[in-house]
């Protein structure tokens, strides 16, 4: 891995027992204890039920791009406190805690890499950073990446994991929906491909903007994709929703995305898609 990325790790909150030596973790999908090393060997996918557990940004980079090619951009951009927001804690304190927990400055990591030898601009959401929420810095980094992709003449891929717009930045965060959408229009006008990989969860203002504007859109199995959350909808309409509601497979059957791709096949799938969209031979 390059500087700025860390080694692959299983999120510690999912381990059964305490300490780094825990041998088992409990799968959120089937609720069964599974051997940790087997889960890691299968790219953080449960060997019993194929539930796709979360992966970190470092893991995603390692699983997706050609080794040693990722170069991060704009890593130092950080959020301000435009509204002086305070709830149970001031907004700056929440941001500082997220930085401490993730080792990153913001919820979006951007950079350039090669995917099966195709130079690609890459945007990766880190759900551990305030739920992967989109504020002004996320909008700025996404827009800058799109501009740089236009300058380089290369496609762009976004890996999405987000709860939506960041409420601590109010209307300023909602404005980012229009800003990132405009950045995607610029890519399209330049004749460059924009591909989305939707992971669990893809919701809120991010789902209503950059996540649903791809030329090709694929999702990991079981990913929750939608605008409002399941509980909010059930409380609003007073009805119980089906178990498969907002799951990637249901969204695919509804025609909103182009496919559901297991994690082990995402790199090769992206390689084929990017070569076709950029007219590059194998």
Together in a domain, 186 and 106: yes
Together in a domain, 134 and 271: yes
pLDDT in tens, 176-198: 999 999 999 999 999 999 999 99
- Domain boundary among the residues 38, 53, 68 is at 53
pLDDT in tens, 81-92: 999 999 999 999
Find out whether 111 and 154 touch, Cβ atoms under 8 Å: no
Asked if the model's pLDDT at residue 14 lies above 70, the reply is: no
**Which domain covers residue 194, as residue numbers?**
54-278
Together in a domain, 229 and 266: yes
Together in a domain, 43 and 95: no
> In CATH, what number is assigned to the domain containing residue 99?
3.90.226.10
Comparing C-alpha atoms, which of 252, 249, 245 is closest to residue 228? 245
What was the pLDDT predicted at 23?
92
Together in a domain, 151 and 193: yes
Asked if the model's pLDDT at residue 7 lies above 60, the reply is: no
Together in a domain, 16 and 111: no
pLDDT in tens, 27-80: 999 999 999 999 999 999 999 999 999 999 999 999 999 999 999 999 999 989
Give 280's pLDDT tier (boundaries 50, 70, 90): confident
Together in a domain, 93 and 205: yes
Distance CA 51, CA 30 (A): 8
> How far apart, in Å, are the Cα atoms of 256 and each of 106, 157, 219, 245?
29, 18, 11, 13
Distance CA 246, CA 232 (A): 13
Together in a domain, 153 and 254: yes
pLDDT in tens, 203-225: 999 999 999 999 999 999 999 99
Together in a domain, 18 and 140: no
- Domain boundary among the residues 20, 35, 53 is at 53
- Domain boundary among the residues 53, 69, 90 is at 53
Together in a domain, 143 and 159: yes
Q: What is the dihedral of CA 138, 139, 144, 147, to 10 degrees?
A: 140
Together in a domain, 71 and 150: yes
Comparing C-alpha atoms, which of 81, 74, 273, 38 is closest to residue 170? 81
**How many domains does the chain divide into?**
2
Q: Where are the beta strands (DSSP E) in the chain?
A: 15-16, 24-26, 33-35, 71-73, 108-115, 118-125, 156-162, 194-202, 216-219, 259-260
Distance CA 122, CA 196 (A): 10
**Model confidence, pTM:** 0.90
Together in a domain, 234 and 109: yes
Comparing C-alpha atoms, which of 108, 145, 144 is closest to residue 128? 108
What was the pLDDT predicted at 279?
82
């Amino acid at each position: 891995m390059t500087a700025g990325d860390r080694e692959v790790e299983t999120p510690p909150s999912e381990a059964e027992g305490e300490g780094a030596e825990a041998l088992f973790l409990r799968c959120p999908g089937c609720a069964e204890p599974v051997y940790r090393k087997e889960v890691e060997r299968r790219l953080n996918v449960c060997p019993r039920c194929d539930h796709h557990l979360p992966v970190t940004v470092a893991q995603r980079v390692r699983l997706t791009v050609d080794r040693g090619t990722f170069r991060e951009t704009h890593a130092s951009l950080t959020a301000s406190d435009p509204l002086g927001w305070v709830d149970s804690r001031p907004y700056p304190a929440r941001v500082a805690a997220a930085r401490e927990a993730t080792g990153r400055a913001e919820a979006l990591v951007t950079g350039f890499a090669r995917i099966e030898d195709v130079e690609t601009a890459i945007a990766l959401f880190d759900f551990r950073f305030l739920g992967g929420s989109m504020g002004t810095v996320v909008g700025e980094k996404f827009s800058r990446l799109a501009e740089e992709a236009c300058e380089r003449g290369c496609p762009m891929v976004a890996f999405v994991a987000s709860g939506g717009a960041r409420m601590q930045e109010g209307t300023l965060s909602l404005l980012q929906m229009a800003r990132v959408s405009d950045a995607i229009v610029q890519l399209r006008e330049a004749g460059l491909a924009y591909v989305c990989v939707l992971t669990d969860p893809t919701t809120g203002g991010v789902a209503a903007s950059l996540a649903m504007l791809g030329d090709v859109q694929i999702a990991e199995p079981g990913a929750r994709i939608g605008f409002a959350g399941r509980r909010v909808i059930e409380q609003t309409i007073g009805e119980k929703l089906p178990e498969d509601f907002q799951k990637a497979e249901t969204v695919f059957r509804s025609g909103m995305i182009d496919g559901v791709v297991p994690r082990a096949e995402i790199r090769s799938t992206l390689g084929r898609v990017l070569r076709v969209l950029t007219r590059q031979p194998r």
